[in-house]
């Protein structure tokens, strides 16, 4: 099996007990794929510190500017499952390069956008590109490494995803401070363009895909049911914003989304029963660890997005920090995440269960501590306290995220690689949108209640931190039931 260049394995397929060697060219290919994945995750996390700057520069109102993040996430989620299936049909390399090209083009549009509406449109297309390329990344990585060697690279990729989620605001704050001015946020998209051109050029040369088992047929009706299920079911939650607690206004739309979800499930079951290929084959979740791994990923990414957003806006609005100072407060946590990722990468796969469970428990309890800090800490002490707790949270995330992804995919066969990978990413993006929406509605909805932080009311942040902590405790409970 070959993927990533013209080299073959430096050793022939070994007998049992011998070491399998992966050529350096394929490791370089792996790095290219992970780098492109990192760009898509960077675009989820980087704009939290740039909201005010973007609003001043483009003249958009708060809801329009918030659509930048929400639109990207929803488009990302909507494209993932169909793209995973299309990759299985057309070949992952071709679909990967199409997604990369779309991502790059839309990044250029975002960087040059003259107003908020162009920016929102560019972000939506950017999300589609990310959703198209991401499942191919996982599928191609599974082709590079044989099953017995996949645990470590998949764990490393999961660790990279978690690290980029936390490093995103740090990098964004530094870049905006260096660039200066109201248009400093544009440089966050120029990073996508410059790095993306290099990575895509390398991918075009290096990524090669051998033939594999493929089934024909694309469930177009399933796709048409899935898209409104995501947009109507998740979008209204994500768009609840400052002071808007009138949830009943969006309830009918959410119910429509749930109806589309039920129709999508029925459609996929019937498609599979008729021996046709569905967008999401629900029997796939019978593969060991995959079903629970998908759920755990969803809850963890609800925390990753919602928790990072909570810490970022709290430091700016309650401790009065600017973008760069906020980023620097979060920097030690990023280092802790890298250390945790390197720690689990050196451990055996049979310890993954313990890492997943206890990492989430550690993070969940730590977010309860964040809630307490919002209730008792002064504005002067809040950055130090939150930065310290965030180190513990990041370490817990690092030791649980990458083992969960590796464990979830370890038993998935090659021909299901793209769809299985896209199901995990789908859960992550939907979890991110829900986490962000719930954090915002709790944060702002209870923000005027009398629990002071440095003279400022903070019941909203207190309750939002508890919500995020519950997400991680739910993830730990789900993982606990997946013991070998």
Tell me if 135 sits within 8 A of 87, measured CB to CB.
yes
Q: What's the CA gap between 475 and 427, in Å, rounded?
A: 13
pLDDT, position 440: 76
pLDDT, position 261: 92
pLDDT, position 447: 60
Please name the helix (run of DSSP H) or strand (run of DSSP E) that holds residue 259, with its range, or none.
helix 251-273
pLDDT, position 240: 59
Tell me if 326 sits within 8 A of 316, measured CB to CB.
yes
User: Of 401, 396, 393, which Cα lies nearest the Cα of 330?
Assistant: 393
This prediction has a pTM of 0.78
Q: What's the CA gap between 250 and 246, in Å, rounded?
A: 8
Tens-of-pLDDT digits for all 484 residues of the chain? 344 444 333 333 444 445 556 677 778 888 889 888 888 888 877 877 777 678 777 776 666 766 777 788 889 888 988 887 788 788 888 899 999 999 999 999 999 988 888 888 999 999 999 989 888 887 788 777 777 777 677 767 766 776 787 678 778 888 888 887 778 889 999 999 998 899 889 888 888 776 655 556 678 898 999 999 988 888 777 555 544 545 556 778 888 999 999 999 999 889 888 888 788 888 888 888 888 899 999 999 899 888 888 888 888 778 888 777 887 888 888 788 878 877 876 665 567 778 899 999 999 999 999 999 988 888 888 899 999 999 999 899 888 887 887 788 777 776 676 677 778 878 888 888 888 878 877 887 776 444 444 445 578 889 999 999 999 999 999 998 777 6
pLDDT, position 364: 95
Residue 363 DSSP SS3: helix
Residue whose token pair is 């549009």: 109
Domains of the chain (ranges; CATH) run: 24-480 (1.20.1250.20)
């Amino acid at each position: 099996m070959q993927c990533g260049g013209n080299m073959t394995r430096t050793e022939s397929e070994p007998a049992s007990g011998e070491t399998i060697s992966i050529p350096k060219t394929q490791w370089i290919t792996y790095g290219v794929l992970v780098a492109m994945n990192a760009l898509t995750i960077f675009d989820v996390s980087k704009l939290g510190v740039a909201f005010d700057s973007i609003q001043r520069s483009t003249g958009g109102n708060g809801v329009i500017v918030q659509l930048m993040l929400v639109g990207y996430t929803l488009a990302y989620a909507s494209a993932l499952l169909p793209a995973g299936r299309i990759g299985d049909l057309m070949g992952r390399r071709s679909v990967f390069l199409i997604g990369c090209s779309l991502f790059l083009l839309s990044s250029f549009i975002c960087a040059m956008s003259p107003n908020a509406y162009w920016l929102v449109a560019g972000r939506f297309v950017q999300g589609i590109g990310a959703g198209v390329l991401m499942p191919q990344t996982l599928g191609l990585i599974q082709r590079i490494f044989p099953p017995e060697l996949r645990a470590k690279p998949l764990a490393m990729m999961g660790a990279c995803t978690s690290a980029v989620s936390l490093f995103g605001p740090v990098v964004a704050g530094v870049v905006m401070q260096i660039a200066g001015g109201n248009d400093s946020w544009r440089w966050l998209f120029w990073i996508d363009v410059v790095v993306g051109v290099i990575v895509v050029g390398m991918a075009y040369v290096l990524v090669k895909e051998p033939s594999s088992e493929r089934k024909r047929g694309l469930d177009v009706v399933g796709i048409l049911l899935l898209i409104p299920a995501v947009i109507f079911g998740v979008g209204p939650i994500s768009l609840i914003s400052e002071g808007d607690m009138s949830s009943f206004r969006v309830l009918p739309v959410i119910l429509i989304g749930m109806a589309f979800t039920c129709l999508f499930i029925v459609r996929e079951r019937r498609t599979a029963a008729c021996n046709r290929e569905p967008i999401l084959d629900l029997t796939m979740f019978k593969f060991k660890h995959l079903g629970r791994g998908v759920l755990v990923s969803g809850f963890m990414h609800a925390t990753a997005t919602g928790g990072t957003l909570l810490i970022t806006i709290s430091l700016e609005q309650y401790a009065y920090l600017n973008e760069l100072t906020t980023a620097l407060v979060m920097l030690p946590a990023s280092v802790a995440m890298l250390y945790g990722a390197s720690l689990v990468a050196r451990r055996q796969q049979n310890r993954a269960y313990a890492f997943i469970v206890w990492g989430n428990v550690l993070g969940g309890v730590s977010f309860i501590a964040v809630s307490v800090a919002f209730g008792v800490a002064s504005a002067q002490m809040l950055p130090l306290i939150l930065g310290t707790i965030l180190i513990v949270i990041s370490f817990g995330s690092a030791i649980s995220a990458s083992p969960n992804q590796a464990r979830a995919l370890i038993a998935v066969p090659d021909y299901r690689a793209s769809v299985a990978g896209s199901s995990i990413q789908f859960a992550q993006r939907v979890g991110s949108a829900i986490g962000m929406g719930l954090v915002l509605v709790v944060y702002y909805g209870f923000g005027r209640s009398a629990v002071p932080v440095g003279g400022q009311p903070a019941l909203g942040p207190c309750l939002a931190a508890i919500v995020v902590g519950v997400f991680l405790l739910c993830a730990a409970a789900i993982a606990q039931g997946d013991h070998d």
